[in-house]
Structure 1
Amino acid sequence: MLGHGEALTPALAPLAARVCPWLVDTPAPGWDEPEDGVARAMTLVLRLERDAPARTTVLESAAAAALALCLDERAAPGGPWFEAVDAWAGAGRIRKLTRRARTAHWRAVQGIDGVTLGPDGAEVRALVPGPVDEVPHEVRRLQIGGTELPADQPGPPPPGAAVIWLNPEVEQTLGKAAAQVGHASMILATVLAAEGADPAVVLEAGVRPAVSEDWARWCRALADDPSGRTAWEEHGVAPVRDAGFTEVAPGTVTCMGARPAS
């Protein structure tokens, strides 16, 4: 079993005891609120210009950007982002807030610490986490909701891709889905790292949100073994269970991350 100092990065290590307890040697600390009472979140800023991108492409960008920030060397011990990321990741729930921007507002957020990924016109910038009531002015003025993109057909994932399977039974807004796939990429990388793999393999393989006809079977595996061990070992999927702050009931499995096919 792995401790927190091996393949797991500082941003992902606190997750391991919660999402794959059978793989680590530290007990899960639970999902309590942080001791200092400060709610922290990672903000995902979606670039949505007038010529709207495909919904799937934006979700791919969100999943990649959230994980890329966690793996960035600036979030490692001694890096300028470490304390902020460590306080957020160790607080219990990996909260994310999603906002949208375009034109000058999009350009303005590039000056805030974070990571931008995605093709031109469908980028997502993941900002260094911090207290939800202390976001910069450039972020605070951005809208949280109000824009949707039409559903599209993602098509089959490319060979070797890491796939995030979306729950076909739960309707999620674009912002909600972006946050959830961001969670999924982190959780998937965490389980892989706890097994001793390089968590960056998720980014290297590419992340494709999709919908699977096997969803009901995976959910039965989770019901039989809430730890998630059976779902991972037999089906190669790791669930995202929502905290229930917005849109869905607490405990809802909004999506699952699947290990890249060999």
Structure 2
Amino acid sequence: MTILDPLAARYVTWMSLPAHTTNDTADEDPTEVRAMPIVLRVERDPAPLRTPLLEAAAAASLAVCLDPRAEPEGPWHSEVDAWVRGRIRKVSRRARGAHWAAVQELPGITVTVDGAEARAFVPGKVVEAPKVLSRLQISGSELPDDTPGPIPTDTPVLWLNPTVPMTVGKAAAQVGHATMLLAAQLHASGEQDRIKQWTETDLRCAVRTPSADQWTKVHPGTDPKSAWETHRAVAVRDAGFTEVAPGTVTVIAQWA
């Protein structure tokens, strides 16, 4: 699973950056910007529940990275590797009906959780995105909050920042970042057996919103090493391109 090693290597540095520098793209060539597309299936009737949809997006994002086709000799490797070594941008879109069926033809992985479906695709240059993807709407996919059940045992939890409202599309991208960072940290810590166990459960995770006290307790602040050793937690710190301020911690992934 070395393809995710660059994330673990720069995680501590990223968490220590001043907020205003996290979205510095002054030297970035727009034609070289890469992103992983995620498509959420949002039918009118029945509409999916928000929590299972986010859990599906989180699992699908990581599944693309851990798929054998992303390994060094696989057909996805060059694209996934180039993306992971840069900014791990994701672009969430919504689809229904024929549009949902059409995107299944593109290379990627669909995950279903409690009837909710999301598909993550092999990342690539944004300017080269296939029309079948680029024509899909980014906005308009909002879903009401739901009431998920108890957290399953021995399952990683993705805690959403309780003070930062996010659309379902934004949250889908953030939980996808979280599963990748968690897997990278597990690998860096020599916990390959736990990653294997996770893959055997189809990378299932639980997305929940904690209380303010819970959030404060596991927040890594500027000491991500201690947060991992003490709380088994890694954090997603957003660059602030959409919806939230630069440097905002949007999700904390924890596997106690």
Distance 2:122 2:24 in 1: 22
1:149 matches 2:131:
no
Q: Give the equivalent residue in structure 2 for 1:255.
A: 251
What is the total number of aligned residue pairs between the two structures?
A: 239
Secondary structure of 1:98 counterpart: strand
Cα RMSD over matched residues?
2.0
Change (3 A) 1:113 1:35: farther
Letter matched to residue 257 of structure 1 = A
Change (3 A) 1:241 1:192: same
Does the CA-based 8 Å contact 1:48-1:121 persist in structure 2? no
Query: 1:55-89: CA deviations, max 9, x gaps?
Result: 00000000000000000000110110111111111
Q: Give the equivalent residue in structure 1 for 2:93.
A: 99
Q: Residue 147 of structure 1: CA displacement?
A: 2.1
Q: Residue 36 of structure 1: CA displacement?
A: 7.7
Q: Residue 230 of structure 1: CA displacement?
A: 1.2
Letter matched to residue 209 of structure 2 = V
Does the CA-based 8 Å contact 2:23-2:246 persist in structure 1? no
1:168 matches 2:168:
no
Q: Give the equivalent residue in structure 2 for 1:208.
A: 206
Q: Residue 9 of structure 1: CA displacement?
A: 2.5
Counterparts of 1:37-76 in structure 2 under 5 Å? 37=29, 38-50=32-44, 51-76=46-71
The match for 2:10 among 6, 14, 18 is 18
Distance 2:197 2:99 in 1: 32
Q: Give the equivalent residue in structure 1 for 2:16.
A: none
Change (3 A) 1:171 1:232: same
Q: Residue 207 of structure 1: CA displacement?
A: 0.3
Change (3 A) 1:136 1:121: farther
Please identify, of 46-55 and 148-157, the stretch whose mean Cα deviation from structure 2 is larger: 148-157
Change (3 A) 1:154 1:64: same
Query: 1:232-257: CA deviations, max 9, x gaps?
Result: 11111100000100000111000111
Please identify, of 37-46 and 202-211, the stretch whose mean Cα deviation from structure 2 is larger: 202-211
The match for 1:133 among 127, 150, 165 is 127
Query: 1:77-118: CA deviations, max 9, x gaps?
Result: 011011111111111x21000000011100100000111111
Letter matched to residue 241 of structure 2 = F
Distance 1:31 1:140 in 2: 23
1:234 matches 2:227:
no
Letter matched to residue 182 of structure 1 = G
Report sequence identity in percent. 53
Change (3 A) 1:84 1:34: farther
Q: Residue 212 of structure 1: CA displacement?
A: 2.1
Does the CA-based 8 Å contact 2:35-2:88 persist in structure 1? yes
Q: Give the equivalent residue in structure 2 for 1:182.
A: 176
Does the CA-based 8 Å contact 2:52-2:114 persist in structure 1? no
Query: Runs of 5+ in structure 1 lacking a partner?
Result: 1-7, 22-29
Does the CA-based 8 Å contact 2:23-2:240 persist in structure 1? no
Instruction: Give the structure with the larger helix fraction.
Output: 2
The match for 1:87 among 82, 89, 92 is 82
Query: 1:28-66: CA deviations, max 9, x gaps?
Result: xx9976988311000000011121011000000000000
Does the CA-based 8 Å contact 1:189-1:200 persist in structure 2? no
Q: Give the equivalent residue in structure 2 for 1:9.
A: 2
Q: Give the equivalent residue in structure 2 for 1:244.
A: 240
- TM-score, length basis structure 2: 0.88
Q: Residue 182 of structure 1: CA displacement?
A: 0.2
